[in-house]
Amino acid sequence: MAVSRKISNPFKPGAGHMPPYLAGREQERDEFKKLLNQDAILDNLVLTGLRGLGKTVLLETFKPMAIQVGWLWAGADLSESTSISEANIATRLLTDLAVVTSSIVIGMTPAKKAGFTEGAPQPLTLDFAALKGFYDSTPGLVADKLKYVLETVWAHIEATGKRGIIFAYDEAQNLADHAAKDQYPLSLLLDVFQSLQRKGVRYLLALTGLPTLFPKLVEARTFAERMFHIVFLNPLSEEDTTLAIRKPIQKESCPVDFAPESIKAIWTITRGYPYFVQYVCREVFDVWVQAIDAGHPLPTIPIQEIVRKLDSDFFAGRWSRATDRQRELLKIIAYLPSREVEFTVQEVVESDVNRALGKPFSGSHVNQMLVSLSEAGLIYKNRHGKYSFAVPLLGDFIKRQSAA
């Protein structure tokens, strides 16, 4: 049927891609609204969770909410290069700040004579050149320079009636201090914002990142534990997953729909992880449209084939980072009852799977290997000293590999 060729696939798996319908997350949005209502900034935001949970997308939905109630919004993704030095993070902040302040006029240039005519005065604005000029002309350390610039800007922002500025940074787990090089960009960021907020300056930090983010903040500055409100994203409920599947189809007036048994099958595969929901639905939708084009009845969902493709596209690259011995340890973890939440070294050592090995893991060996697996991005340690998979549904993938 030619009509099917006019239908674009509404599902959009991908890093940071806005889904056609953002299901759930009402509680998270309500928590952010409370932060926006602060007169004095006592709580900043850390939005955290595993990959595939929609942190970047949710942060993007916060932006219009903030702007609507009078906040300015500055921000970017934080790459590793931002965190190389204190000067780099200062440049990052000034660059992002200039985007929202460059239209603010703070004076006029003196009129200049050109030949026999007098040139008109030009407006002076808080563009990047002005901010960098303030920064360079201020004596002291990087922190002193930044504080002066940000306080100077705040005086002009407050005069406009704006509530404040939100500095929103994605992938903030890339922030780090480098003691060996005497560079402390993460500590600098925390020190500067805490100092300004104590003075009543309404600059609010909104950081998103993997679960390693908050422990890094606390390790850099212990006061960070009291400086941030933590919002930990969880997978969608089955009800919200159903909405994420059905709403895009209804919105596009598609000639196909997901039957309850199809939705149940997708829920079983994805467990409510938004990226996986978008991925599986895109594959299913393509199969159905091809069947309509060929004049065939709609087939059942090819679950095994889609899971195999998901394994290849999402999990295989991460699995390849592990050595054979590390994979043995990951298999033990995959069969722990608590693998989807958190686990301890003792649980690994005492598991039946470990004891059945010809060369079982000792506690010290498990500790050492978990460190290397954390560096590989497969495991993370939370601030309570327990561990979790850093990749969603990795345990299910490992079990499939064991059964193959």
The reported pLDDT for the residue numbered 367 is 92
CB 263 within 8 A of CB 245: yes
The reported pLDDT for the residue numbered 102 is 86
| CATH dotted code for 318-403 | 1.10.10.10
Mean pLDDT by runs of 10 across the 404 residues of the chain is 56 77 90 95 95 90 95 89 91 94 79 58 82 94 96 92 94 91 95 96 95 91 94 93 88 74 89 91 84 70 87 90 92 88 90 90 92 88 82 90 73
Helix, coil or strand: residue 51: coil
Report the top-level CATH class of 26-232.
alpha beta
The reported pLDDT for the residue numbered 114 is 54
CA distance 67 to 359: 59
CB 100 within 8 A of CB 74: yes
Query: What is each CA distance from 4 to 35, 79, 288, in whole angstroms?
Result: 46, 41, 10
CB 10 within 8 A of CB 254: yes
Quickly count: other Cβ atoms within 10 Å of residue 122's Cβ: 11
The reported pLDDT for the residue numbered 3 is 38
CA distance 363 to 329: 12
Whole-prediction pTM value? 0.85
CA distance 40 to 38: 5
Q: What are residue 45's phi and psi, to 5 degrees? A: -110, 135
The reported pLDDT for the residue numbered 2 is 35
SS (H, E, C) 54-119: CHHHHHHHHHHHHHHCCEEEEEEECCHHHHCCHHHHHHHHHHHHHHHHCCCEEEECCCCEECCEEC
Q: What are residue 94's phi and psi, to 5 degrees? A: -65, -40
Q: Which residue is it, tokens 């992002």?
A: 96
CB 232 within 8 A of CB 203: no
SS (H, E, C) 232-293: ECCCCCHHHHHHHHHHHHHHCCCCCCCCHHHHHHHHHHHCCCHHHHHHHHHHHHHHHHHHHH
